[in-house]
């Protein structure tokens, strides 16, 4: 019996060590942001493309209130309800004490400044495809916004999802900076790829997920259940989305479909962000969507 217990103890130690190794944080190199100067004007464009206010401002906020990033919005999922944190520049309750590298690690590696893993309700698997210059610009813009002293609320998840260290395994499987669509694209469609696949994180809602909550990239933009609980997010691949590029641009800039229906649900917030972008960016998104291979 004593020998068996020793074997079990050794196996447990090996398994625990392997788990600790495989779930370790993988931050960016310490000098990753060296030489990059953030431009807050360019950062405002990244902010809109990334939809930061949609989660981190108060629900229903309009105008200047969308720039108060006090958090608090509830994001339901099959794994529990996640609550958006305060990312205002307040040094105690927000991210005022962060460096640009801290923001880059959060967006591209899913890591907090102390090396903890963030839940992927924060779409870092998409933001991982962003450029470090865009992160530097976004950081510069965020630091100009009004601070908020609202405390970030804890997420409402149950065991085993409370074990954040385990998210490291999830990240090893799903976190990649590689583009989804790798074929040749025109320059405008390539810009659209960057917006759709990185900053605007369209795939977070429009791509179905597997049983572990990771995006099924083999069904990129093929539609998925609505995270709000009713209906479905539509399939926007060619062959399903029959709109012209002009129709898509019109929808992204006004919220009205070619049939004069209007955007609803989560898409209202998306339109609010995308309509602030230059028309060239809206045209780039349309060009990318029309350049995709049709559904199988």
Dump pLDDT digits (tens) for 211-224. 888 899 999 999 99
d(CA 2, CA 81): 45
Cα torsion angle, 66, 70, 73, 79, sign: positive
CA neighbor of 19 nearest in space, from 160, 154, 168, 161 = 168
Residue 295: CA count within 13 A, CB half-sphere: 14
Q: How far apart are the first and last CA of the chain?
A: 58
- Helix boundaries (H) for 150-266: 167-174, 187-194, 203-206, 245-254
Residue 142's pLDDT is: 98
Percentage of residues of the chain with pLDDT beyond 70? 90
Respond yes or no on whether the N-terminal peptide bond of residue 160 is cis (omega within 30° of 0).
yes
- Phi first, then psi: what are they for 149, rounded to 5°? -95, 10
d(CA 124, CA 35): 23
Q: Does the structure show a pLDDT above 80 at 296?
A: no
- Phi first, then psi: what are they for 128, rounded to 5°? -60, -20
Dump pLDDT digits (tens) for 150-160. 999 888 988 77
Residue 261's pLDDT is: 84
Dump pLDDT digits (tens) for 57-67. 988 888 888 99
Report, as an integer, the average pLDDT of 180-187: 92
Rg of the chain over Cα atoms, rounded to whole angstroms, equals 20
- Which carries the bigger pLDDT value, residue 137 or residue 77? 137
Dump pLDDT digits (tens) for 66-101. 999 999 888 888 888 899 999 999 999 999 999 999
DSSP per residue, 91-116: TTTSSTT--HHHHHHHHHH-B-TTSP
CB atoms within 10 A of CB 162: 11
> Contact 208/224 with Cβ under 8 angstroms?
yes
Question: What residues have CB less than 8 Å from 219, skipping those under 6 apart?
Answer: 207, 208
CB atoms within 10 A of CB 227: 16
d(CA 71, CA 53): 9
CA neighbor of 127 nearest in space, from 183, 234, 202, 207 = 202
d(CA 68, CA 146): 6
Q: Does the structure show a pLDDT above 70 at 9?
A: no
d(CA 7, CA 20): 20
Average pLDDT, the chain: 87
Helix H or strand E encompassing 246: helix 245-254
CA neighbor of 122 nearest in space, from 47, 52, 194 = 52
CA neighbor of 270 nearest in space, from 55, 106, 70, 45 = 55
Q: Does the structure show a pLDDT above 60 at 14?
A: no
CA neighbor of 285 nearest in space, from 275, 294, 293 = 275
């Amino acid at each position: 019996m004593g020998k068996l217990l020793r074997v079990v103890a050794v196996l447990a130690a090996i398994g625990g060590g392997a788990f600790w190794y495989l779930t370790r944080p993988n931050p960016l190199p310490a000098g990753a942001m060296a030489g990059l100067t953030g431009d807050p004007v360019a950062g405002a464009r990244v902010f809109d493309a990334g939809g930061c206010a949609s989660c981190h401002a108060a629900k229903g906020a309009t105008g200047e209130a969308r720039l108060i990033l006090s958090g608090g919005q509830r994001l339901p999922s099959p794994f529990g309800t996640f609550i958006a944190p305060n990312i205002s520049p307040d040094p105690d309750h927000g991210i005022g004490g962060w460096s640009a590298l801290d923001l880059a690690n959060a967006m591209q590696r899913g890591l907090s400044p102390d090396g903890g893993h963030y839940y992927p309700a924060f779409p870092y698997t998409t933001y991982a495809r962003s450029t470090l210059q865009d992160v530097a610009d976004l950081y510069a813009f965020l630091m100009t916004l009004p601070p908020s002293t609202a405390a970030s609320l804890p997420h409402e998840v149950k065991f085993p999802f409370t074990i954040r260290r385990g998210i490291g395994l999830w990240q090893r499987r799903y976190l990649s900076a590689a583009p989804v669509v790798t074929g040749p694209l025109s320059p405008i469609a390539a810009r659209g790829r960057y917006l759709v696949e990185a900053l605007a994180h369209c795939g977070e809602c429009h791509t179905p997920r597997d049983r572990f909550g990771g995006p099924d990239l083999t069904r990129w933009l093929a539609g998925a259940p609505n995270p709000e609980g009713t209906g479905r997010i539509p399939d926007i691949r060619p062959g399903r989305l029959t709109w012209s590029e002009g129709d898509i641009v019109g929808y992204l800039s006004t919220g009205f479909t070619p049939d004069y229906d209007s955007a609803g649900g989560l898409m209202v917030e998306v339109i609010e962000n995308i309509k602030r972008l230059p028309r060239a960016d809206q045209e780039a998104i349309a060009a990318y969507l029309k350049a995709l291979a049709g559904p199988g």
